[in-house]
């Protein structure tokens, strides 16, 4: 598929730009709060991806994080304005900006392509590890060209889960803390490394058993959701409804522990609904 090739090229080029900037000083601006940052590199990465997409697919639409105003309402509105396009790209130019700013090497570029609102190609590139995760609908998921599958853990005590903390002041940060208090004693351990997309790629590659987080956006999830589906995993919202571009509260697992995590989130009052 031509779009998958475009996504790979764009993610690798953007990743190179990001890697060159990680240990040099860069201008950091606040978006909605001190927890919500953007750098000149986020913007340059998005510009590079945008130009590469439009040079090859001039009539396609692009929904990119840095083209959208800060805040939940603006991001919901931007998705509604874009999702009906027949050919839509969904781009996060750096997922894990806080890590990038601090030099903590866990961030990525996430690029998805959707046709008629269904994600059909997804690429996540980790420029620090040079890990390229790719998937095309119906054709499996790959890491650096090798087929990947989700992990085999069958129970919570064997599971390594990851989550993330919403960074704005909508109260869901506390809601998720309750989920961690509930799940942490039941599982092998919980991680929260600060890039939703890269956590999803880790679930697809069997490096994590599952991942959940509240109040995310389409650009955090689209590529990773396809990777996990193509790697044999399960992706829903935190009530167990199937993934689509509008999902904000995500649970993605190897499938085996999905219902157990759903149950724990429900019991903790942490579904976000």
**3-class secondary-structure state, position 195:** coil
**Nearer to ligand 2AM by C-beta: 3 or 95?**
95
What residue 233 binds from ligand 2AM, Ca ion, none (CB within 5 to 8 A, per partner kind)? none
Q: Is 130 a catalytic residue?
A: no
CA distance 150 to 126: 18
Q: Which residue is associated with the tokens 């996430």? A: 110
Q: What b/e string do you get for 186-208 counting C-beta neighbours within 10 Å, with b at 16 or more?
A: ebeebeebbbbbbbbbbbbbbbb
Would you state the structure tokens that stand for residue 131, as one six-digit string?
Answer: 């890990």
Residue ranges in contact with ligand 2AM by CB under 6 A: 32, 36, 65, 92, 95-97, 164-168, 194-196, 215-216, 220
Radius of gyration of the chain (CA): 17
Q: Using CB under 5 A, which of 46, 126, 213, 220 touches Ca ion?
A: 220
Instruction: Give the sheet arrangement for strand 160-163, strand by strand.
Output: 189-191, 160-163, 210-213, 250-253, 234-237
CB 109 within 8 A of CB 15: yes
Q: Which residue is associated with the tokens 């990525």? A: 108
State the minimum distance, in angstroms, from the CB of residue 64 to ligand 2AM: 11
CA distance 258 to 74: 31
**Nearer to ligand 2AM by C-beta: 96 or 256?**
96
State the minimum distance, in angstroms, from the CB of residue 143 to ligand 2AM: 20
Q: Which residue is associated with the tokens 């990038």? A: 100
What residue 168 binds from Ca ion, ligand 2AM, none (CB within 5 to 8 A, per partner kind)? ligand 2AM
Q: Is 220 a catalytic residue?
A: yes
What residue 96 binds from Ca ion, ligand 2AM, none (CB within 5 to 8 A, per partner kind)? ligand 2AM
State the minimum distance, in angstroms, from the CB of residue 112 to Ca ion: 12
What residue 166 binds from ligand 2AM, Ca ion, none (CB within 5 to 8 A, per partner kind)? ligand 2AM
Q: Is 228 a catalytic residue?
A: no
The single residue of 65, 153, 230, 237 carrying the catalytic annotation is 65
Catalytic residues: 65, 92, 94-95, 97, 220
């Amino acid at each position: 598929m031509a779009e998958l090739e475009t996504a790979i090229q764009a993610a690798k080029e953007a990743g190179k730009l990001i890697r060159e900037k990680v240990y040099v000083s860069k201008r950091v601006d606040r978006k909605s709060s001190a927890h919500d940052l953007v750098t000149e590199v986020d913007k340059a990465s998005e510009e590079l991806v945008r130009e590469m997409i439009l040079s090859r697919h001039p009539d396609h639409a692009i929904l990119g994080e840095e083209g959208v105003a800060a805040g939940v309402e603006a991001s919901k509105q931007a998705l509604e304005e874009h999702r009906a396009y027949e050919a839509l790209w969904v781009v996060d130019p750096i997922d894990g900006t806080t890590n990038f700013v601090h030099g903590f090497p866990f961030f990525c570029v996430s690029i998805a392509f959707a046709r008629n609102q269904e994600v059909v190609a997804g690429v996540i590139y980790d420029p620090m590890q040079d890990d390229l995760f790719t998937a095309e609908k119906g054709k499996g998921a790959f890491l650096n060209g090798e087929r990947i599958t989700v992990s085999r853990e069958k129970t919570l005590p064997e599971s390594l889960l990851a989550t993330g903390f919403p960074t704005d002041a909508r109260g869901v940060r506390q809601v998720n803390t309750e989920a961690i208090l509930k799940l942490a004693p039941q599982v092998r351990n919980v991680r929260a490394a600060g890039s939703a997309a890269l956590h999803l790629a880790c679930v697809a590659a069997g490096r994590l058993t599952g991942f959940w987080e509240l109040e995310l956006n389409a650009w955090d999830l689209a590529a990773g959701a396809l990777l996990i589906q193509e790697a044999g995993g399960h992706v829903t919202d935190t009530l167990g409804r199937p993934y689509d571009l509008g999902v904000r509260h995500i649970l993605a697992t190897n499938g085996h522990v999905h219902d157990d995590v759903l149950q724990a989130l429900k019991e903790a009052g942490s579904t976000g609904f």
